[in-house]
Amino acid sequence: MTSSRYPSRIARGIAVAFWVVSCAGDSDPTPETATWVTVPEFEIGDAFGGPAAFAQVSDVRVSPDGERVFVLEPYLARVSVWTPEGDILLDIEKPGEGPGEFRTPLRVEPNPDGFSVQDTRRFTFFTHDGRLLRTVPNPPPAISFRGFRLQPRLLTESDGYVAVPAIPGTVAAGWTGDDPLDELPLLHVRAEDDRWTMDTIAVLDVRNRSLAIRPAGSEWEFTWELHTGQPLADDDLTYFDPETGNVVIAHRNFGDGSIQLLEITPPGDTIWHRRFAVQPVSLRPELLEGAIDVFTGQLVNQSTMAGQPVSRGEGRALVEAALYAPDPLPSVRYVRGMSTGDLWMQTFEEVDSLVVWYTIGRGDTESALQRVLLPTGFRARDATPTHVWGVRRDSLGVAYVTGRKLVRRTESG
């Protein structure tokens, strides 16, 4: 197991802002934090069929007024829109590549004119009642970064893009002769005067992101490999805001509970930064053992299917050598931008078996963080000023889209 931490790095366009804050030493003093709990109020779902019998829900978004709940099911190429009470307003299930159809949808976003859906090929915009407005394709395949195709994350003004290069896992792991990948450029891509331009606006630290294992000495012959994400990764996190076209970068590998947030525009200008600290959480033995057990099982299965079986003891040794195990744990494990304009950050901290999230207003440099305690089995995806929305599964694995009311926790409660 490894536990090395490396300083995050930023492209020249925002280097000054980052290092001024980082070199200041300790994190900014954090004012007193208010704590919120939640109670269930709305739930959409059906275990016995019908429109509310959800499959694999990957995204839930809520309109700013809280009256429309957007649910994305990528494997069905389906977007459905609901009232909080569970009445269906719109249902679009269109797998395909034609106008208004989806090729593996990735995210859904409400906007003043209706909503948009991003899939692996394009951005599609609809009115509130589901009428197709326009479609913007991804950059042509010939537009690449050092031969690697681009993965657009945002559509910017004048139909430009914020994108990252799609690096194959074998390349990122260093299995093709180069060193393992430790940074990834964030690119602003746009067409100007019949030609394409591409500028690096930030460099993301992606060390400790991937867990990659294969037999020693193997090259390109058919063999087994295990390539997945590190469960305790502390690489840079990002939130891509479709409303503004801006990107929020969260640096979390300081090793002391600190978080550095930067918001940058597509041209690469830093418009907000803040550094603060949350409660450091020590690496728990049961968390580490659980990760080792899961990946050992996956490795044994992969090697057996490839006809080159590895014993569980051998597999465990390989996993232990490749697993990144920082102590204390990374300051945050997930960052999400909400409809309120706030950032929500999930941590490894738990209180009374509830998962601790922190929220902060983008652009805010002084106000206290808000702490929200959420049930372990609830995946938060969006929030309004009064509710947090997400997905839970019951004991049978049935998915429900749930809205939980935010309640201020008092000292006595």
Is 111 a member of any domain?
Answer: yes
Domain range for 84: 42-136+380-412
Helix (H) or strand (E) holding 120: none
Token pair 């597509």 in the structure block, residue: 266
Is 279 a member of any domain?
Answer: no
Is 210 a member of any domain?
Answer: no
pLDDT of residue 373: 98
Is 398 a member of any domain?
Answer: yes
Reduce the DSSP state of residue 13 to 3 states and report it: helix
Residue 402 to residue 40: CA distance in whole angstroms: 7
Reduce the DSSP state of residue 357 to 3 states and report it: strand
Chain center to CA of 81: 22
Is 71 a member of any domain?
Answer: yes
Residues 238 and 223 sit within 8 Å (Cβ to Cβ): no
Residue 335 to residue 250: CA distance in whole angstroms: 8
pLDDT tens figures, 168-226 = 988 999 988 889 999 999 999 999 888 999 999 999 999 999 999 988 766 556 678 89
Q: Which residues contact 274 (CB under 8 A, 6 or more apart)?
A: 21, 28, 260, 261, 360, 364, 365
Is 342 a member of any domain?
Answer: no
Count of the separate structural domains present in the chain: 1
Mean pLDDT for 350-365 is 94
Is 51 a member of any domain?
Answer: yes
Is 229 a member of any domain?
Answer: no
pLDDT tens figures, 262-318 = 999 999 999 999 999 998 999 999 999 999 999 999 999 999 998 889 999 999 999
Residues 407 and 37 sit within 8 Å (Cβ to Cβ): yes
Q: Which residues contact 407 (CB under 8 A, 6 or more apart)?
A: 36, 37, 38, 39
The residues facing 66 across adjacent strands are none
pLDDT of residue 146: 92
Residue 210 to residue 293: CA distance in whole angstroms: 17
What percent of the chain has pLDDT above 90?
A: 77
pLDDT tens figures, 11-56 = 333 333 333 333 334 555 455 679 999 999 999 998 888 889 998 8
Q: Which residues contact 283 (CB under 8 A, 6 or more apart)?
A: 232, 325, 326, 327, 328, 329
CATH of the domain at 67: 2.120.10.30
